[in-house]
Structure 1
């Protein structure tokens, strides 16, 4: 009986050693952290994303990469292209085709002349499909040709890959699609333009056209209802459901962009957006490290920040920054989570410091990828081999132990 117990202990010890040595081999050397929370929001929209509008970091997602129909949020792309490529004071002559486009309108008349800037306002504030077509024809001659420009723009300039446009206004077309993630990136890009930013924030605008004189009220209800909200665009066609892109700003804290796609009703789209923004504004902040800030590594090498650094954290979260000996700037939260990491360049007047004493030269260097201790790697492998041989010799795997 004693011999059986002794063998069990030896077997237990042997198994434990195998487990420990296996961990030594396969355990990761470095661990990187993503900024995540376990918050679950009860949202009705099929696809959702909320990002930090400054850093682009996703703060909440749901089916963000699912292919969806955009409806009138398409006009965000039409608007930013027109602003960047055109002369806003230039007069645009309205064609018969533009006046015949179905859907929401600013009631343009054939041969009417109107400034490009007014057309953009009529499109982004009142969602005028006729204004969208007039803009497309002005820049490319037709909706189809302008759609090609739109696709080149979002792919080459913005850098999204899961979006395609077939018209400038968002009326249904089977080849017109996007994702919540792509629309957030497109909107982030567009909001960097001050003219675009000003237009989408207009609550009401006196429209004076040959066929219509009225006051336009921003179709995005939250722009008119909440001081924090300053854009961007709503949309609806039956195939897309209700779509909504929203930007909100809490001064000196954070700017948010929320995208909700395919809600069953407009109320659901707005309720989802309110819940997202309330969560974002009460949870996150954008942090800034100014351009020109100098960091030093352990060897007194200096690294200067060449442009202002922005990163996202929880509100009032403590964080620290450090530069390793390879020049990598690492910003960490108090819980060890990596908030930002990027390689810096040495300052122009910096002198690279190196170890000089023989003792220092003999020390193993601290290598971020863990290879500085490469000579230790065979040890657990040899250990496993010896244990396996010992087990085989003792007959651990024979039928007598069962």
Structure 2
């Protein structure tokens, strides 16, 4: 930390969490998927990428966006009434029927665990009224998250010529999903029994198709916490997964895998990531980051407005560099705790913006009687104006004194008795 504080210099800050390139790390594993990305789930740093911005038809990882929107817009105990279209959807399904009622949470179990296309369609209609309107919502939300190359045409991932996304975008969507504990709860569930409904009198058994979760599978990975598989003839195999180890969480997204080695490949990428990288806290919320000295000499501590992390490559000895443009605070006044500026941290092709808040009140001082006439924009006294004011006041009193003396002489000269007495 001493190195960081010593390296504080003035410079222009740039946009928050703008990760421009993958790391130049130790040799990463290989995979059969055409599009691959490995991302830090906290910072968003891409530590490995191959065709990560190339558009592919994603198949069922599409449902990650469907799940995210459902969690953002619905309550888990809401009832979903199935329309006429969901039962007709092809591919993997749990065979729901028209007018059947299930809760949002029950449908999410089906979508996440067994990739139920019919439930994904039912949730889309429940939220937006139609598949087309929900697809617009999906595309818009992706842009809001910072996804670069995603266009969604349906909520389930069945092939469409215009339905495209990238490994980077899917990892970004998964990053946002990991903030929802309900998603983690369902994603880590290995088996589940859906309760009977108003139409289907028996329980439906669900088995999670993410084989990284099952300890009897050869692909079992003890640190796995979430995953979404996918396949269509046009999309080939696809997979998005997350794993947590020693307080570090990484996301892997793989698209267009022609031979379905993504389970084994993802384990290799996870181990490589955990062995070579670490999510490290740089500043805690409220910690003093630097100081700003105003033009009148007031020293103002600048505090981190939130926790700031970066993705440290364990083979590098370099430290993050912090920069701050002091000119952004020139001639400004602010209160303690008020966000007032941004600093910038750069490290190994990463760039993070640090929101800065004032550690003290710094208000404009108004001099009594004359108001802000003599107060400058830098909270100091304008001595030029002050000198002129004093001169005017002195001249005023001299003129007043002169007038009084003259008036007294005039009165004395006009009084005969006083003149006689003087003689």
TM-score by length of 1: 0.72
SS in 2 for 1:223: coil
CA contact (8 A) 2:112 2:187 kept: yes
Q: What corresponds to 1:220 in structure 2?
A: 210
Q: Any unmatched runs of 5+ in structure 2?
A: 1-19, 215-219, 294-298, 327-341, 364-377, 379-423
The one of 161, 166, 179 aligned to 2:166? 179
CA contact (8 A) 2:45 2:350 kept: no
Larger fraction in helix: 1
Q: What's the Cα RMSD here?
A: 2.8
* Alignment partners' CA distance in 1, 2:321 and 2:51: 35
Distance 1:342 1:145, change over 3 A: closer
Q: What corresponds to 2:88 in structure 1?
A: 100
Q: Does 1:68 align with 2:56?
A: yes
CA contact (8 A) 1:166 1:175 kept: yes
- Give the C-alpha shift of residue 107 in structure 1: 1.9
* Alignment partners' CA distance in 1, 2:29 and 2:320: 32
* Alignment partners' CA distance in 2, 1:331 and 1:158: 21
The one of 121, 146, 159 aligned to 1:133? 121
Moved more, 52-61 or 138-147: 138-147
Q: What corresponds to 2:280 in structure 1?
A: 287
The one of 134, 158, 166 aligned to 1:146? 134
* Alignment partners' CA distance in 2, 1:316 and 1:168: 42
CA contact (8 A) 2:276 2:315 kept: no
- Give the C-alpha shift of residue 319 in structure 1: 5.9
What is the aligned length?
316
Q: What corresponds to 2:307 in structure 1?
A: 308
* Alignment partners' CA distance in 2, 1:154 and 1:311: 23
Distance 1:303 1:241, change over 3 A: same
Q: What corresponds to 1:163 in structure 2?
A: 150
* Alignment partners' CA distance in 2, 1:63 and 1:296: 39
* Alignment partners' CA distance in 1, 2:128 and 2:292: 57
Q: Does 1:264 align with 2:258?
A: yes
- Give the C-alpha shift of residue 130 in structure 1: 0.9
Q: Does 1:249 align with 2:244?
A: yes
* Alignment partners' CA distance in 1, 2:169 and 2:321: 33
- Give the C-alpha shift of residue 320 in structure 1: 4.7
Q: What corresponds to 1:278 in structure 2?
A: 271
CA contact (8 A) 2:345 2:353 kept: no
- Please identify the structure whose Cα radius of gyration is greater: 2
Distance 1:350 1:38, change over 3 A: farther
CA contact (8 A) 2:304 2:354 kept: no
- The Cα offsets for residues 309-336 of structure 1, whole Å up to 9 and x where unpaired, read as 1100023865656655735756677xxx
* Alignment partners' CA distance in 2, 1:199 and 1:242: 22
- The Cα offsets for residues 80-117 of structure 1, whole Å up to 9 and x where unpaired, read as 11111112211111223211211111121222111111
- Give the C-alpha shift of residue 128 in structure 1: 0.6
